[in-house]
Amino acid sequence: MTVSEESGGPGSPTVAELPNDITLETEEGRLLAEQLADSRHHARKLLEVRNLSTQFFTRDGVVHAVDDVSFELEYGETLGLVGESGCGKSVTALSLTRLVASPPGKIVSGEIIFDGIDIMKLSSEEMRLLRGRKIGFIFQDPMTSLNPTLPIGFQIAESARLHLGLSRKASDDRASELLAKVGIPRAKERMGDYPHQFSGGMRQRVMIAIALACDPMLLLADEPTTALDVTIQAQILDLIRSLSEEFGTAVILITHDLGIAAGMCNRINVMYAGRIVETGMVDDIFEQPKMPYSWGLLDSLPRMDEEKGTRLRTIEGLPPDLINPGPECRFSPRCKYVHDQCRVEEPQLSEREGEGHLARCFGTEPGGWIK
């Protein structure tokens, strides 16, 4: 058998031809597939998250890592989850696939409706069949997220073999096709290479190929470029954007870099201390942010037009302890515009100017003190 055929050879599905339902031998799998097929005819959101709370039960107390978070995602949309370290971005993403380490973590309440399926009600086996098939995951550090003892071809093909029931040959063909798609030169020859033979950027491309192996409907990208060089960052982001457009995949992009979010996303959720503090279309967030924390994030971006030698601006102070948060606005200890009201009561998300633009701040509510 020779190796170079144009696109996998006869019989092996190309990306476009892939069956869009779960093909499994198990009863649960077939039910799930029917459910999925059903859901496609209705006009609904791809993802609805309602009042999601995830907590970690540690020796020091209960950490409210994600606290009453609600948001929605349309089919094919790109949503940014933005915030500093420890604000609950990653835990939110892990909760969506029920991958939060348990113990100590636990999703204590909330509803996650993914493509019409109530994720919280699935058995762990059904959940496993959904992961990788319908929801792809890209992790932060490509150096440690690939198994050092397995050839990358195997790691890409594994998901297709598990979920699509492809044969060894067909899944290998598909893997090399994907590898070429994510921009690895001589993809076919490199299938047998191991992760350490790739650079960081190349490995992240491999991770993307793994995440897209089954043509998922949702891609969760958890800081996909944080561990990479700046020049590579742009390439990886471009790749994620072009592939998600090509496959029609919705993306949740988790990042602490507003610049990245601005370039990639349709909408942005700003998270702080386990809560969403502002959400809106990307233009609204950048042009008329309505929450002092968002201003802080925007201000702390380095600028090209700044004079040399100016110090980078930071947000003073540290995020609050998420064990037993008080009733006050969680940003109030660090807020320059804080009033007495903020220290006793937490504002709710309320509407601002712009489509779906919500902010959690008394000061910018109509009649508030911040202009």
Q: Is 133 in the site for other proteins (CB under 8 A)?
A: yes
Site for other proteins in 344-363 (CB under 8 A): none
Q: Is 251 in the site for other proteins (CB under 8 A)?
A: no
Pick the binder of other proteins from 88, 153, 289, 319 (CB under 8 A).
153
Q: Is 150 in the site for other proteins (CB under 8 A)?
A: yes
Least distance to other proteins from the beta carbon of 190, Å? 9
How many residues are recorded in the chain? 371
Place of tokens 């971005």: 89
Least distance to other proteins from the beta carbon of 276, Å? 23
Least distance to other proteins from the beta carbon of 212, Å? 11
Q: CB-wise, 148 or 327, nearer to other proteins?
A: 148
Pick the binder of other proteins from 11, 61, 104, 192 (CB under 8 A).
192
Least distance to other proteins from the beta carbon of 189, Å? 5
Tell me if 291 sits within 8 A of 270, measured CB to CB. Answer: yes
Q: CB-wise, 56 or 362, nearer to other proteins?
A: 56
- The number of angstroms, rounded, from the C-alpha of 349 to the middle of its chain's C-alpha atoms is 22
What per-residue string of b and e applies to 329-359 under the rule 16 or more CB within 10 Å gives b?
Answer: bbbbebbebbeeebeeebbebeebeeeebbb
Q: Say how many residues touch other proteins, by CB under 8 A.
A: 47
Helices (H), the chain: 27-39, 89-96, 124-130, 142-145, 152-164, 168-181, 187-190, 200-211, 230-247, 258-264, 282-287, 292-299, 340-344
- Residue span 199-228 as binding mask against other proteins, x where in contact by CB under 8 A, dash where not: --------x--xx-x---------------
Tell me if 205 sits within 8 A of 185, measured CB to CB. Answer: no
Pick the binder of other proteins from 42, 168, 311, 371 (CB under 8 A).
168
- Residue span 93-132 as binding mask against other proteins, x where in contact by CB under 8 A, dash where not: ----x-x----------------------------xxxxx
Q: Is 20 in the site for other proteins (CB under 8 A)?
A: no
Tell me if 157 sits within 8 A of 151, measured CB to CB. Answer: no
Q: CB-wise, 69 or 93, nearer to other proteins?
A: 93
Cα separations (Å) of 226 from 78, 128, 139, 223, 236? 18, 27, 10, 5, 11
3-state secondary structure of 323: strand
Site for other proteins in 52-71 (CB under 8 A): none
Rg from Cα positions in the chain: 22
Q: Is 81 in the site for other proteins (CB under 8 A)?
A: no
Burial of residue 318 (CB within 10 Å: 0-12, 13-18, 19+) is exposed
Least distance to other proteins from the beta carbon of 145, Å? 4
Place of tokens 């937490």: 346
Q: Is 194 in the site for other proteins (CB under 8 A)?
A: yes
Q: Which tokens belong to 20?
A: 């869009």
Q: Which tokens belong to 188?
A: 């076919």
Pick the binder of other proteins from 137, 198, 293, 362 (CB under 8 A).
137
Q: CB-wise, 65 or 191, nearer to other proteins?
A: 191
Distance CA 220, CA 136 (A): 6
Least distance to other proteins from the beta carbon of 298, Å? 31
Distance CA 93, CA 351 (A): 25
Distance CA 138, CA 81 (A): 14
Least distance to other proteins from the beta carbon of 102, Å? 11
Q: Is 243 in the site for other proteins (CB under 8 A)?
A: no
Q: Is 141 in the site for other proteins (CB under 8 A)?
A: yes
Site residues (vs other proteins, CB under 8 A): 1-5, 97, 99, 128-133, 136-137, 139, 141, 144-151, 153-154, 157-159, 162-163, 168, 172, 176, 186, 188-189, 191-192, 194, 196-197, 207, 210-211, 213
